């Protein structure tokens, strides 16, 4: 099976590159920049991609790969830092830019195999403070912007390419085509990799790791944990027990819906735990979102530990962690926000190991895996819902009254989306109860009630996202219904921010 080796220099989009390669049905493997030349030769990749990263190549402690990688005769594509590093190591010059480029930038493309069948201009996502000032011997310019002369470079004789922009993100137009050109036209890869291969390998891996020992799976009812549960079911059978924790922060009617779907499945050994009072007591008076996440992460673990003791000796806890959770919880110490199941975990966990079989996958890949495992489409394409639940959709402290307000408002939003077919367009949509109150008037009376924010986005990988342009008449209906049907809300706003700069969730 043809393989593309991705050498990781610590950028936030690195696993996304791997995902884009796999999207084109070619197997990808991510390895740290410390990989040795012998290890590269053993993998025998058809191509190598050098990722972005937060460092400057001219710093003494900057991460660098083995220079001989460029002399193996294997095509190499450097992205952002990867392009700068290739230029620097092969005799070019990299400097700090006087004009930085961040965001969607118009790039002029020149004819070459990397940009085959693309227009001469393309919108690309730039995110860099350094730039290549002087090219190494044998290289030429293949792309440029108004402020960056060498936005793309190539040594055609050695099949070495570099782009300063990020083709792996959806904000770059035709980015997937650029990656496809590299792996197909330049690396000559055969497109033989499928999600079924990942499924078979992962089930085999889980069988070998777990053997006949008992496993507890944290099952929320969402697609990630459901797919993780099905993988474990096929790997360990009756040694699996799935625990669903109702922490009192679920959407309206959600606990009943989850129990209806999974409660009668004997292969999952489903157990529901009512822990509402425990979680709400621990969260009483807490406003900081990071603190909320850590409290919820720890309490989940403590509930699982307690349930595990009832089952005897349970060595493993399984979570449905996916790659965007890992990225936002921090790579190389850079935390965006701690997800309850990653950065929110307590220091001590009373399990031999936490297993995360989906850790390297993105949401759309998890859904494909779910279909391969035989899950129904309505479950596979269920609306994403964060583990901390409404705790991170209520800004400020959490009370039972606020939970009820948000549950009712969010239910109306979801109902209207279904009526108008927007649930088939939006990849995630929800309401946020802010901690802001404003003056309003209902009838002849003054009100001083909450501001509610609505959020809906389109995305495939959940690493980048664009806000959904909801028709005004639908927004108007949602607004009128919420204000009239839900007490203590008198003002509605719609979030029109994309990711980046925002995250999808508010907290």
How far, in Å, CA of 275 to CA of 298, rounded?
13
Token output for 109: 């493309």
Tell me if residue 80 is catalytic: yes
CA dist 272 and 258 (Å) reads: 9
- How much of the chain is in helix, strand and coil states, percent to nearest 5? 35, 25, 40
> What is the rounded distance in angstroms from the CA atom of residue 470 to the CA atom of residue 494?
9
**325: Cβ–Cβ under 8 A, 6 or more apart, which residues?**
339, 341, 342
- The answer, yes or no, to whether the previous bond of 147 is cis (omega within 30 of 0) is no
Three state DSSP letters for 284-321: CCCCCHHHHHHHHHHHHHHHHHHHHHHCCCCCEEECCC
Given the residues 166, 247, 339, 340, the one annotated as active site: 166
Pairing of strands 76-79, 93-109: unpaired
Distances (CA, A) of 354 to 107, 162, 197, 218, 317: 44, 38, 23, 11, 5
Whether 166 is a known active-site residue: answer: yes
348 is catalytic: no
The token duo for 79 is 């992205």
Among residues 23, 65, 80, 217, the one annotated as catalytic is 80
Q: Are 495 and 455 in contact (CB under 8 A)?
A: yes
> Backbone phi, then psi, for 429, in 5-degree steps?
-150, 140
369 contact partners, CB below 8 Å, separation of at least 6: 195, 198, 199, 227, 231, 358, 361
Which residue in 101, 168, 356, 507 is the catalytic one? 168
Reduced to 3 states, what is the DSSP secondary structure of residue 95?
strand
Catalytic residues: 80, 166, 168
């Amino acid at each position: 099976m043809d393989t593309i080796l991705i050498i990781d220099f610590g950028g936030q989009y690195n696993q996304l590159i791997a995902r884009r390669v796999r999207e084109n049905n070619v197997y990808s493997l991510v390895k740290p920049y410390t990989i040795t030349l012998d290890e590269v030769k053993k993998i025998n990749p058809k191509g190598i991609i050098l990722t972005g990263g937060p460092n400057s190549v001219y710093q003494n402690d900057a991460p660098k790969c083995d220079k001989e990688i460029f002399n193996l005769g294997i095509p190499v594509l450097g992205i952002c830092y990867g392009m700068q590093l290739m230029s620097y190591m092969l005799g070019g010059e990299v400097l700090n830019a006087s004009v930085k480029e961040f965001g969607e930038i118009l790039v002029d493309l020149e004819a070459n195999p990397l940009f085959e069948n693309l227009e001469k201009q393309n919108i690309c996502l730039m995110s860099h403070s350094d730039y290549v000032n002087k090219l190494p011997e044998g290289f030429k310019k293949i792309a440029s912007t108004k402020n960056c002369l060498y936005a793309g470079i190539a040594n055609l004789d050695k099949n070495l390419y570099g782009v300063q922009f990020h083709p792996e993100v959806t904000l770059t137009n035709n980015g997937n085509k650029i990656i496809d050109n590299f792996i197909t036209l330049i690396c000559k890869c055969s497109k033989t990799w499928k999600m079924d291969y990942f499924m078979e390998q992962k089930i085999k891996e889980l069988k070998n790791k777990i053997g006949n020992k008992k496993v507890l799976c944290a099952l929320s009812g969402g697609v990630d944990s459901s797919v993780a549960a099905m993988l474990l079911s096929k790997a360990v059978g009756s040694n699996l027990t799935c625990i669903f924790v109702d922490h009192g922060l679920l959407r309206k009617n959600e606990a009943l819906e989850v129990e209806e779907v999974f409660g009668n499945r004997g292969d999952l050994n489903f157990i529901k735990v009512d822990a509402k009072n425990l979680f709400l007591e621990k969260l009483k008076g807490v406003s900081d979102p990071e603190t909320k996440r850590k409290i919820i992460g720890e309490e989940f673990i403590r509930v699982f530990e307690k349930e595990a003791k009832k089952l005897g000796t349970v060595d493993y806890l399984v979570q449905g962690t996916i790659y965007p959770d890992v990225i936002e919880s921090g790579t190389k110490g850079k935390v965006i926000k701690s997800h309850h199941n990653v950065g929110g975990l307590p220091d001590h966990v009373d399990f031999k190991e936490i297993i995360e079989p989906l850790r390297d996958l993105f949401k759309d890949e998890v859904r494909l895996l779910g279909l391969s495992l035989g899950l129904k489409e309505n479950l596979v394409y269920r609306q994403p819902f964060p583990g901390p639940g409404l705790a991170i959709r209520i800004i400020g402290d959490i009370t039972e009254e606020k939970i009820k307000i948000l549950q009712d408002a969010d239910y109306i939003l979801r109902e209207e989306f279904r009526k108008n077919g927007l649930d088939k367009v939006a990849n995630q949509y929800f309401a946020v109860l802010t901690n802001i109150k404003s003056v309003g008037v209902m009838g002849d009376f003054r009100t001083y009630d909450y501001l509610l924010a609505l959020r809906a986005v389109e995305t495939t990988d959940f690493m980048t996202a664009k806000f959904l342009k909801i028709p005004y008449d639908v927004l108007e209906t949602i607004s009128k219904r919420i204000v009239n049907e839900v007490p203590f809300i008198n003002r509605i706003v719609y979030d029109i921010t994309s990711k980046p700069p925002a995250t999808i969730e508010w907290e």
